[in-house]
Amino acid sequence: MICPVCGNQFEPSESSAMPFCSERCRTIDLGRWLSEGYSVPHVRDPEADDAAESPPETNGDGQPSD
């Protein structure tokens, strides 16, 4: 198997940090997610723009007004 962080080939049965080759690579990957180096792509829904709803009005204490 090939580590997605460093690119080194390793034996999966010998790694306690799967799918990474080591805890170091696992930590590097986590750091990239936390610093927003990685992101999940977002595809906008064109229908959502047409059907934008306003939030319900509240009476000041967080309860919906009647």
Instruction: Indicate left, alpha or beta for 7 from its phi (over 0: left) and psi (-120 to 50: alpha).
Output: left
Fold classification of 1-39 (topology level): Erythroid Transcription Factor GATA-1; Chain A (3.30.50)
Half-sphere exposure of 18 (CA within 13 A, CB side): 7
Instruction: Give me the residue spans of the domains in the chain.
Output: 1-39
**Per-residue pLDDT tens listing for the chain (66 residues):** 999 999 999 999 999 999 999 999 999 999 999 998 988 888 888 787 665 555 666 666 766 665
Rounded Cα–Cα distance for residues 58 and 24 (Å): 49
